[in-house]
Amino acid sequence: MTHPFSMSLEIELNAAPEQVWDAIATGPGIDSWFMGHTELGTAVGEPADLTMMGQTEQATITAHEPGTRLAIRGAEAPDGQFMATEYLIEGRGGGTTVLRVVQSGILGDDWESEFEALRAGWPIYLETLKHYLTHFPGRAPSVTTVVRPGAGGPDAVWKTVTDSLGVTPDVAEGDDVRLPDGSAGVVFYANLPVNLGVRTGEGLYRFIHSGTDRGDALVLSHQNFTGRDEQSSWEAWTAERFG
């Protein structure tokens, strides 16, 4: 049985509205803080497709007001399921901008866990956007996406991830960590035991536990802004740690 949903989030960004618009309304901008690869048009009716792990989710631009408002709507499934996302930009004094994100649509039978996953996931991506605009503005990333089904429950996944980073499971924002390749980083987001965000001198790294009635999975969603392709190394790390 399907179920309608709606949620709204807001974040203040240390960037001008034009910078925020470029980050949420262009394909390269979205790739710098979200997940996968986005192909985004520049007018109402044009595509807003997200490709990840070889699969493309089709969507269409439904509102395009440069510097102010962008809205997209995903393709509707046979049972009526769909998702729509609206971005609202408001400039504030001192060179800051408030971004409001409204997501709505129709979820499926497992709508409660799907809704909780959306509600838990958006904050780490908005924080990633904040750190992208602060530390890597205007730079295009090499994107890594790895999904490992059957990784285990959130506590077990969290312990494996934090052990690999050289910290304890009670890690907090601002703590120093070290990635498996030896790169030094700092935690920019920690929602125990679900989502962890790390910033290094090269990029932004997210470790996300996703759990629904279809099972538990670990999702790695990383951006490296030096152009270094890290897909194979993170696939190997995931296979070793969660094989």
Output the pTM of the full model: 0.93
Question: Please, which pLDDT band fits residue 108 given cuts at 50, 70 and 90?
Answer: confident
Q: CATH: 3.30.530.20, 3.40.190.10, 3.40.50.620, 3.40.50.11030. Which one for 3-111?
A: 3.30.530.20
Per-residue pLDDT of 68-85, as tens digits, reads 999 999 999 888 889 899
Backbone angles phi, psi at 121, to 5 degrees: -80, -40
What is d(CA 87, CA 234) in angstroms, rounded to the nearest whole number? 31
Average pLDDT, the chain: 92
Indicate the DSSP class of residue 173. Answer: T
Indicate the DSSP class of residue 201. Answer: S
Domains 3-111 and 142-242 alike in fold: yes
Per-residue pLDDT of 35-94, as tens digits, reads 999 999 999 999 999 998 788 999 999 999 999 999 999 999 888 889 899 999 999 988
- pLDDT, residue 114, reads 72
What ranges do the domains of the chain cover?
3-111, 142-242
- pLDDT, residue 115, reads 56
Mention the CATH class of domain 142-242: alpha beta
Burial class (CB in 10 A: 0-12, 13-18, 19+), 159: middle
SS3 59: strand
- pLDDT, residue 74, reads 93
Check whether 182 has a pLDDT greater than 60: yes
H or E element that contains 74: strand 69-74
Tell me what the mean pLDDT of segment 217-236 comes to: 96
